[in-house]
Amino acid sequence: GIQVEQSPPDLILQEGANSTLRCNFSDSVNNLQWFHQNPWGQLINLFYIPSGTKQNGRLSATTVATERYSLLYISSSQTTDSGVYFCAARDGGAQKLVFGQGTRLTINP
Amino acid sequence: DAGVIQSPRHEVTEMGQEVTLRCKPISGHDYLFWYRQTMMRGLELLIYFNNNVPIDDSGMPEDRFSAKMPNASFSTLKIQPSEPRDSAVYFCASSAATYGYTFGSGTRLTVV
């Protein structure tokens, strides 16, 4: 089955900094999503982005499907951005999402 | 829409007891998924349904686990008997075929 790898595993930044999170996947995908798991454990859907670029406020994401990677950009980080960011992909005709191990982001004031 | 609704939010039970977790998907979504999250194994898919029919239950750990979806607006995940190693956060998610997943808030299960 498809493999999803995220980097870095941990990232510690000061408030106001910018960050880039990476997701690599092993095969062609027909669904790529980014989630934020906040400190209360909720999984929040950030982007559904099988290809191309999308932006939502300070966050943006780019997926280059032909090269099998996706990037999540966070600009002007805030302490509320802290948590774990997951990338998940769905391969071929299957419906199940396979998750990476996540990037734990800590934004210090 | 209120999103995917799970209940209870927290469950503490004694080993050997039956536990039932509940999920109401988003109206109009034809896929429903049950995931489990632990520190050791991350997010794992347990089972998923399409139009109320179980499609893939290969992630269900053992016979103590069972899931049902009697109609399009309700699903249950049952553990009988429960064991301490079942302690985890259980998430339900729903989606329409070509769109992304939406997750519920999860049920934190502790088996003592």
Task: Write out chain A residues lying below 8 Å of B94, CB-based.
Answer: none
> What confidence tens digit (pLDDT) does each residue in B11-22 have?
999 999 999 999
Q: Output the DSSP codes for B41-94.
A: TEEEEEEEEETTEEEE-TT--STTEEEEEEETTEEEEEESS--GGG-EEEEEEE
β-bridge partners, A48: A33
Place of tokens 């004031």: A109
The answer on pLDDT for A54 being more than 90 is yes
A18's tokens: 């910018």
- Tokens for B87? 């302690």
Q: Tell me how far apart the alpha carbons of residues B4 and B74 are, in angstroms, rounded to a whole number.
A: 10
Using a CB-CB distance cutoff of 8 angstroms, which residues of chain A are in contact with residue B97? 95
Tokens, residue A99: 């998750």
Partner B contacted by A50 (CB < 8 A): no
Hey, what's the torsion of the CAs at A36, A41, A43, A44, to 10 degrees? -60
Scored b (16 or more CB within 10 A) or e, B55-78 reads: ebeebbeeeebebebeebeebebe
Mean pLDDT to the nearest integer, B52-61:
93
User: Residue A108 pLDDT > 70, yes or no?
Assistant: yes
Q: How confident is the model at residue B1 (pLDDT cuts 50, 70, 90)?
A: low
Q: Look at A48 and B33 and tell me if their CB atoms are within 8 Å.
A: no
B-chain residues within 8 Å CB-CB of A50?
A: none
Distance to chain A for B42, nearest Cα, Å: 6
Chain B contacts to A (CB-CB under 8 A): 31, 33, 42-43, 45, 48, 50, 55-56, 89, 91, 95, 97-103, 105-106, 108
pLDDT digits (tens, 9 = 90+) for B23-45: 999 999 999 999 999 999 899 99
**8 A C-beta contact, residue A22 and residue A69:** yes
Closest CA to B18 of B87, B64, B62: B64
Place B96 in a pLDDT band, splitting at 50, 70 and 90.
confident
Q: Single out the residue of B51, B43, B85 nearest to residue A37, CA to CA.
A: B43
Residue B10 burial (10 A CB sphere; 0-12, 13-18, 19+): exposed
Contact flag A96-B48 (C-beta cutoff 8 Å): yes
Q: Is the confidence at residue B109, as pLDDT, over 90? A: yes
Nearest chain B residue to A99 by CA: give it.
B43
Rounded mean pLDDT of A45-55?
A: 94
- pLDDT single digits (tens) A67-104: 999 999 999 999 999 999 999 998 666 778 899 999 99
Per-residue pLDDT of A24-40, as tens digits, reads: 998 877 789 999 999 88
| B63-74 tens-digit pLDDT | 999 999 999 999
Structural contact between residues A30 and A95, judged by C-beta atoms closer than 8 angstroms: no
Which candidate in A3, A97, A101 is best for mutational testing of the B interface (most B CBs within 10 A)? A97
User: In this predicted structure, what is the pLDDT of residue A90?
Assistant: 85
